[in-house]
Amino acid sequence: MSTMEASMAVLTDQFRRYVTRMLQSSVQADRPAYVYDPILAQVERVGDPERQGTLSFAVCPPYQGKDADQIMSGYAKTGVVGAAEAHFAAVVEGTIDAELERKVVALKEGFPSLPATTCATILNGLNCEIQQEQVLAIYGSYGTSRATKTLAETFNFTELNRRAHGLQQLIDAGSKQQRQAVQKRYLAMHAYVTAPNGGREQAIAESGLKRSLFFFYWKAFQRYGLLGLVDRARETFRRSKIGLANEAQLVVDKLRRPQRPNSFFTERLQSKKIRTDPSTVMKIFTKWNVKDYRCEFVHNLERLEAADEKASQQEEPIPEEKPVRWVDQNFLIKLSGLRTAPAPIDAPGLFALWCYLEELGIFPVLQAMGLTGGGEEKGYSWFDLFLLAIGRTFYGISSYSKACEHQELSLPLFSHLLALPCNDSFLNGLASVSEEQIRVLRRWLVKRGKELGVLEGKRIALDFHQIDRDVRIAELRNFGKGPSPKKKLCCNGFRPHLAWDLETGCLIVAEFRKSSARGTSTVKGFTNDYLRPDFQDLFECVYLDSEYTGKDVWEFILEPEGMNAHLTACLKQNPFVKRARDAFLNGHAQGDDFWKYCDDEHVYADGTFPLVWPEGADTPEQEEQAVRQFRLNCVVKKNLKTGSYRCFGSSRPVESPRALLDDYGHRWKIENGIKDLVGSYFLDQCPGCHPHQVDVHFFLVTVCRLLYRMMERDLGESIRNPDGSTKTLHTMRTVLFRQGAAHIQLADDTICLRFQDSFSHERTELLKNWFDTLHGRYADGLQILDGLRLGFQLRVPRGEEHRNAYRKARLGSAKTVEPSS
């Protein structure tokens, strides 16, 4: 290693703020930095007895009170160095090891956009103990943080920090002579600044400094204020001869692809015209402890990584009979004020969700789990943020940040808040619930959906949904990749696993999976967690796509010890499937009219072939061992344009190939349902990158879909399309929830929503029947409102005059006609 460039020191937070404010003021006003140095401002206000009351040259306000007294006392003892010593607890951070500091700087130079959290996690994986706050302190000291990055374009942070290190050395072990030298320079600068016209040459001559030395410190004084008078300290560490940026890139690349030999990295450096030898690369990897790296990134749910999942399972909570709702005090004041001053809102239908949350019965469950807050709790309860997340979805706001910036009153009042939280409070507050609590709530939700009749569990479809995400150094973070339908290749991201009820058209459950998860390793644990406890004796048929092709998955679905259901699936053409397919095609391909019309792009084979396993299970030897034989009846579908084949199989007796294809067609409900989750419930708009935060988001999406399914039950035919399908939340959002101007008022014990707009006869009738149903169901009040009632008041429908005349008239005829004299 050799010294290529001087290094710096890590400034303390107090001193870094002092320097940053001074330099920012200097840049904005385009004036010297010493003018905005608060230490010098205090010194000038105090006055030096030797200067006999000369005028001050500092313009920023001096310190007050105790701070001013300390600076005065320090200055009286040893001049400006004493003033700095008295004010700052420390100038340079002494708790960060120089080698650790070097690694942080190297990673930041190699990856300029690297966040402090990612940097700290990488170093923790390399057995380095460092916190995010320490990384941020190093970033700020080196001019690479958000606050100092713009200043680094104007000021040399290398020189600035070395001078700060020199100041710390003066404070710690500086001799009286060294401190007097700094004070002498300050007095010389002061005499030069305050000299009358034509007197500056005399000030330089009387300063006791050589002319060249005087202007050396004068330039530094102009740029850095007090720090410009201090000599620079020596470097704290040495830089690599290949450059810190190249060194960090080599290390990270080795961590991402450990199978690459050292010669590969040597050749890479040579391609950049950096002469080196293999021993240099080896020494770098040894110094960084690459061999012992362990990934510290959170890339999956903890319980999915644990070997024994049952060890930390939480029991299902027992709901309280009469739960109490605690709300923010200012919201209560606002609610009381609605008696005399109704508030305008634009989403009156949103408050009907309170009734469906009441029917769902989730509030008592959350209170039993300690998630609704109490009288002594400060801040936001989890239930407050839960209501906000539900409300923003039905309101139609796609992200947490947009929801928190929303100014209209519907969302905060629906969430029992006076004002909305900031984005971080919203995101981190929802993620404060534990993984096990979300798991318990997810199980409870499936059970409750069955009790309400919105989930039946007879015909179920399983599927993944790839959500592409751009992830920094994804291999290092162990994110994994999954097949992306959008990009037609494997990408990083999240891959929630979903179960869909094909009878009711409702999402049963959606749970986080990382992109590297696959169907064959997911089905058994997922089904045992969420489906079998409530639907074990109800399963009729399970529908799968080709990703789940595997005998162990098929057997788990078919055998009595598993799901004990029929299976209909698209089959991946592995060797087992391909052998049976080819034998079938070769035996029948020459027959007349073998291929039948399916659609304009596909034909299907007029016949089926069996998939049977284990082979030879019908022999006497096997019968003695009671080995069960499994069978799928399969059909082949052919693409006319490409000539490719697809195979579909079912464990049911097949009447015809066409009947099997039609049976598999039921599975498209989950494909269309996922599209609705993306468009209406913002499934793809995942908040954050932490797996637990994303898993909470998937749970909230499941709750929203279940609530809308309950509304579909109540609204019935009024929200049906002509083809018999149900209108989605995206289509009905403005009809059911965002109807426009309304007033919310508290009358006696009823929160009343009074609509200000009139609607057509059809829409008014739909809303009236809906609100009457809810009123009759909850006339005695809602637990979620601590006994308060909810009411809706519609205006009369629009008459026939509210339509276009289809005749034209001059716009100017609307002017007021003055009476003739």
Q: 287-314: per-residue pLDDT in tens? A: 999 999 988 888 888 888 775 545 456 6
Q: 455-680 maps to which CATH number?
A: 3.90.350
Calculate the dihedral angle through the C-alpha atoms of 410, 414, 420, 422, rounding to the nearest 10 degrees. Answer: -120
d(C-alpha 55, C-alpha 782), whole Å: 73
Element at 766 (helix H, strand E): helix 761-777
What's the whole-number mean pLDDT along residues 278-283?
90
Mean local confidence (pLDDT), 543-567 = 95
Instruction: Return the structure tokens found at 807.
Output: 């005749």
Average pLDDT score over residue span 28-40: 91
Residues 596 and 380: their CA atoms lie apart, in Å, by 63
* Cα(209)–Cα(183) distance, integer angstroms: 12
The size of the chain, in residues, is 821
**Angstrom distance (rounded) from CA 721 to CA 312:** 47
Q: What is the pLDDT of residue 307?
A: 52
| DSSP per-residue codes, 491-560 | EEEE--EEEEETTTTEEEEEE--BTT--GGGTHHHHHHHHTHHHHTTT--EEEE-GGG--HHHHHHHHST
User: What is the pLDDT, as a whole number, of residue 821?
Assistant: 57
Q: Which residues of 179-190 are buried (b: 16+ CB within 10 A; e: fewer)?
A: bebbbebbbbbb
Give per-residue pLDDT as tens, 162-181: 899 999 999 998 899 999 99
- pLDDT of 486: 83
- The pLDDT assigned to 178 comes to 92
Interval 370-399 mean pLDDT: 93
> Is the per-residue pLDDT at 236 higher than 90?
no
Does the pLDDT at position 1 exceed 50? no
Q: How far apart are CA 22 and CA 225, in angstroms?
A: 8
For the chain, give every domain's residue range.
13-98+112-229, 244-292, 455-680
Which residues contact residue 245 at a Cβ distance below 8 angstroms, ignoring those fewer than 6 apart? 106, 109, 110
CA-based nearest residue to 482, from 496, 462, 466: 466
Torsion, Cα 176 177 180 184, to 10 degrees, reads 180
Tens of pLDDT, residues 408-467: 999 999 999 999 999 999 999 999 999 999 999 999 999 999 999 999 999 999 999 999
Q: Tell me the HSE value of 796 on the side-chain side, using a 13 A CA sphere.
A: 4
Q: Per-residue pLDDT averaged across 812-820, rounded?
A: 79
Is the pLDDT confidence value at 9 over 90? no
In 3-state terms, what secondary structure has residue 117? helix
pTM, 2 dp: 0.84
* Residue of higher predicted confidence among 800 and 434: 434
For position 72, what pLDDT does the model report? 86
pLDDT, tens digit, for every residue of 98-141?
889 899 999 999 999 999 999 999 999 999 999 999 999 999 99
Residue 495: other Cβ atoms inside 10 A: 21
> What confidence tier does 147 reach under pLDDT thresholds 50, 70, 90?
confident
**Does the structure show a pLDDT above 70 at 752?**
yes
- Where does residue 330 rank: exposed (0-12), middle (13-18), buried (19+ CB within 10 A)? exposed
CB 23, CB 155: distance < 8 Å:
yes
Q: Which residues contact 720 (CB under 8 A, 6 or more apart)?
A: 726, 727
Residue 613, burial from CB neighbour count under 10 angstroms (0-12, 13-18, 19+): middle
DSSP-based three-state secondary structure for 642: coil
Q: Identify the three-state secondary structure at position 256.
A: helix
How far is CA 341 from each of CA 64, 335, 744, 746, 793, rounded to the nearest angstrom?
46, 10, 9, 9, 17
Tokens, residue 486: 């959008």
In this prediction, residues 64-87 reach a mean pLDDT of 89
Q: How far apart are CA 681 and CA 705, in angstroms?
A: 8
Enumerate residues 6+ apart whose C-beta is below 8 A from 83: 39, 42, 43, 71, 74, 75
Q: Provide the token pair at 503.
A: 């009878």
CA distances from 175 to 171, 172, 182, 233, 545 (A): 9, 9, 11, 15, 79
Tokens of 693: 């935060």
Q: Is 65 helix (H, G, I), strand (E, B) or coil?
A: helix
- Condensed to tens digits (0 to 9), the pLDDT of residues 570-583 reads 999 999 999 999 99
Q: How far is 214 from 204, CA to CA, in rounded Å?
A: 7
pLDDT tens digits, 479-518 = 888 888 888 888 889 999 999 999 999 999 999 998 889 9
The per-residue pLDDT for 618 is: 52
Which candidate, 455, 650, 440, 452, places its Cα nearest to that of 535?
455
Q: Do residues 281 and 266 lie in contact, with contact meaning Cβ atoms separated by under 8 Å?
A: yes
pLDDT of residue 662 exceeding 90, the answer is yes
Band of residue 616 on the pLDDT scale cut at 50, 70, 90? low
Mean pLDDT of 514-537: 93
pLDDT band at 589 (very low <50, low <70, confident <90, very high): confident
pLDDT confidence tier of residue 5, bands split at 50, 70 and 90 = very low
Share of the chain above pLDDT 70, in %: 94
Residue 54 has pLDDT above 60, yes or no: no
Provide the pLDDT for residue 626: 57
CA dist., res. 382 & res. 367, Å (int): 10
| SS3 track for 650-707 | ECCCCCCHHHHHHHHHHHHHHHHHHHHHHHHCCCCCCCCCCHHHHHHHHHHHHHHHHH
Report the pLDDT value the prediction gives residue 729, as an integer from 0 to 100. 98
Report d(CA 558, CA 567) in Å as an integer: 7
Mean pLDDT of 257-270: 91
With 80 as the cut, is the pLDDT of residue 684 above it? yes
Mean pLDDT across the chain:
90
- Token pair for residue 569? 């699936």
**Count of beta carbons in the 10 Å neighbourhood of residue 424:** 12
Residue 127's identity, in one-letter code, is: N
For residue 628, the SS3 value is coil
Q: How many CA atoms lie within 13 A of 676 on its CB side?
A: 23
Q: What is the pLDDT of residue 2?
A: 35
Helical ranges in 126-243 per DSSP H: 132-141, 149-152, 157-173, 176-194, 200-206, 211-224
